[in-house]
Structure 1
Amino acid sequence: MSAPIASAAAGAGIRKFLPLIGAVIVWGGNWPVMKYGLSHVSPLWFATVRFGSAALLSVLVLGALGRLRMPTRAEWPLVLGVGLLQMAAFTALALWALQYVAPGRASVVAYATAIWVIPLASLVLGERPSRMQWVSTALSYAGIAVIVLPAVTHWELHTIVGLAMLLGASLAWAVSIIQLRAHRNVRLGADMIPWQTAIATVPLLLLALLRDGMPELSAFVDIWPAIAYTGPLATALTFILVLNITQTLPPAATSIAMLGVPVIGLMVSAAVWHERLSGDLSIGLALIALGVVTTALAPRFERALRA
């Protein structure tokens, strides 16, 4: 009887990771989809429609589930931080950068939040990173340098601007992570997604109107599949899913799994946009991956050393 029990336990363990794997696949495919959307509308309008549609759908879903509620006083600062930094600023900068940088390469740089998180945690929160954490940060910096260096050495101005925007996007997400870490006693659940996406929509809408004016409605009709994918699916439903998952899975598992986002982005981009997986991009991605894995496994190494 022990073999069937063990097999059932293993199957249950695998099933626990399936939603996270699905979220990684959806987010990885989102980069080439966003590139397609930008062929019809401006970055600001695409970001506005993405979060506006996500806000609408999440209100409907959580309302139907009876889980729609106002944020508490303690939750409001974090909801604002996630909405303005992790969603609005990150997405606006990333979408703008996609006009100058191929989607696969863009996803690698944008998701390299590790280059900011550990130094900021040390400076802002007074945390003392371990040697392994500093090693992982150095690996991440090396990976970004390998990816950015060709554009700098060849002085490709448009690519440099795009990469700078992507680094700004990753910094915005990192600041949001630091804010959440500074308020560990407050945990944001999936019921905060409607407020976060709505807050992200407001400044994006104002900026889109001021900079680009009213768009052609026919353009949105042409790209409705991209809007349906990147808004309701890749933003509302996937964020709700991931927030629930990350409360039950170990942080190490989540960190390593999220590395799959740029990998899938690269694969889909290579197939759809014929993006070439160059040597510098491969080496840079490998170094960043090694940095993420080192961060995830650092506690285990440190316990082994103390033993």
Structure 2
Amino acid sequence: MSTAIATPHATRSAAARQPAMSRLFLVCVVLAICIWGGNWPVMKFGSQFIPPLWFAASRFLSAALLSFAIAAVIGKLRLPTRQEWPVVIGVGVLQMGLFTALVTGALHFVMPGRASLIAYATSIWVVPGAALVLKHKLNGRQSLATVCSYVGIAVIVLPALLHADLHSMIGYLMLGAASLSWAMNILQIKLTPGVKLDFDLLPWQTLVAAVPLCVLATLVDGAPTFLADPHSWGVIAYTGPLATALTFLIVLQMTQRLSPVTVSVCMLGVPVVGLTLSSLIFGERLSTDLLLGMGLLCLGLLLPALPAMGWRRLAIKG
């Protein structure tokens, strides 16, 4: 896939090729959103028989093994450079390991639909962070999308916090911390534009996430006895190779090619899918606040992608 548009002096032939590639990229983004949205009900199901730390560890260990094997076969296996290692560690620790461990643990306290909405509310942190750290200025449509996202998140989160018991509050705090962790990594990636987040780095990113999680899981939960349960293998197959090895590569490309605000708004599509599936699978009630919040999030999600603006313009780095 092509890199983000860097200057207004791109050749006419490159501009002519961009729309088709942008449509393909948009399809990949939608695919990633749907896979990650479906991952929330899968994680809720798996949390019934897989301990949280082992759940996160097995997800990234399976993704690491697969991505190392594929990289070796296609001749892409290499060590990261000195410039790349900070980003590899940032992605592995903040966006993969810490985020996943926190949300998996939170699913023991809250339902997956509302939980996914809180965890993916990275715009709460990214918008002010981009303004302060990156000096990023929003255009009109991004501003409107951000306002819709903020209001939608408030409509969903505030009623839950007002009626939360101690266990639920612990879960919501873990989800807020997970959201902050991912937002920090988005800003880190935007601050290191010289590093290209291609498949070459994915094996090392997943390994950085897997190793400390495996150590912690062994110390806290003991041996991975859950592997004796045949249901665990199906859950790991979805959350590891599909929802990690494939989807993280798409999302990391989004983080590098699009503005940080656009990325955080697009990611709100994940909890919309997750909440819809949660209501169908687990009977999570779609209350008025959830429906209203989902509507606002969907509006905020669609605004940046309207044809009048053009997806290509969103590819300009923030």
TM-score normalised by the shorter chain: which range applies? 0.7 to 0.9
How far did 1:191 drift? 1.2
Secondary structure in 2 aligned to 1:118?
Answer: helix
**Given the two structures, how large is their TM-score scaled by the length of structure 2?**
0.80
**Given the two structures, how large is their TM-score scaled by the length of structure 1?**
0.83
Secondary structure in 2 aligned to 1:223?
Answer: helix
Out of 71, 76, 99, the position equivalent to 1:90 is 99
1:229 partner letter: Y
Secondary structure in 2 aligned to 1:141?
Answer: helix
2:137 partner letter: P
- Paired residue for 1:182? 191
- Paired residue for 1:129? 137
How far did 1:164 drift? 1.5
Q: Residues 77 and 12 from structure 1, CA distance in 2 versus in 1: closer, same or farther, beyond 3 angstroms?
A: closer
Q: Which runs of 5+ in 2 are unaligned?
A: 1-17, 314-318
Q: Residues 10 and 90 from structure 1, CA distance in 2 versus in 1: closer, same or farther, beyond 3 angstroms?
A: closer
- Paired residue for 1:144? 153
How far did 1:161 drift? 1.6
Please state if 1:206 is matched with 2:215: yes
The structure that is helix-richer by fraction is: 1
Please state if 1:265 is matched with 2:274: yes
- Paired residue for 1:59? 68
Q: How many residues align?
A: 292
1:193-230 Cα shifts (integer Å, max 9, x gaps) = 10000000122122212222223144553311111010
Greater alpha carbon shift after TM alignment, 47-56 vs 63-72: 63-72
Secondary structure in 1 aligned to 2:63?
Answer: helix
Please state if 1:19 is matched with 2:19: no
Q: Residues 190 and 239 of structure 1 are in contact (CA less than 8 Å); yes or no, is this contact kept in structure 2? A: no
Greater alpha carbon shift after TM alignment, 89-98 vs 277-286: 277-286
1:42 partner letter: P
Q: Residues 54 and 214 of structure 2 are in contact (CA less than 8 Å); yes or no, is this contact kept in structure 1? A: yes
1:178 partner letter: L
How far did 1:293 drift? 4.7
Greater alpha carbon shift after TM alignment, 74-83 vs 280-289: 280-289
- Paired residue for 1:161? 170
Please state if 1:31 is matched with 2:33: no
Q: Residues 202 and 140 from structure 1, CA distance in 2 versus in 1: closer, same or farther, beyond 3 angstroms?
A: same
Greater alpha carbon shift after TM alignment, 274-283 vs 73-82: 274-283
Q: Residues 129 and 293 from structure 1, CA distance in 2 versus in 1: closer, same or farther, beyond 3 angstroms?
A: farther
The whole-number CA distance in structure 1 between the counterparts of 2:63 and 2:33 is 18
The whole-number CA distance in structure 2 between the counterparts of 1:142 and 1:250 is 21
Q: Which runs of 5+ in 1 are unaligned?
A: 1-8
1:19-61 Cα shifts (integer Å, max 9, x gaps) = 3332222111111001111110111110000000000000111
Q: Residues 94 and 110 of structure 1 are in contact (CA less than 8 Å); yes or no, is this contact kept in structure 2? A: yes
The whole-number CA distance in structure 2 between the counterparts of 1:217 and 1:130 is 47
1:71 partner letter: P
The whole-number CA distance in structure 1 between the counterparts of 2:167 and 2:249 is 35
- Paired residue for 2:124? 115
Q: Residues 253 and 17 from structure 1, CA distance in 2 versus in 1: closer, same or farther, beyond 3 angstroms?
A: farther
Q: Residues 65 and 250 from structure 1, CA distance in 2 versus in 1: closer, same or farther, beyond 3 angstroms?
A: farther
Please state if 1:41 is matched with 2:53: no
Structural RMSD (CA):
3.2
The whole-number CA distance in structure 2 between the counterparts of 1:252 and 1:114 is 7
Please state if 1:228 is matched with 2:237: yes
1:129 partner letter: K
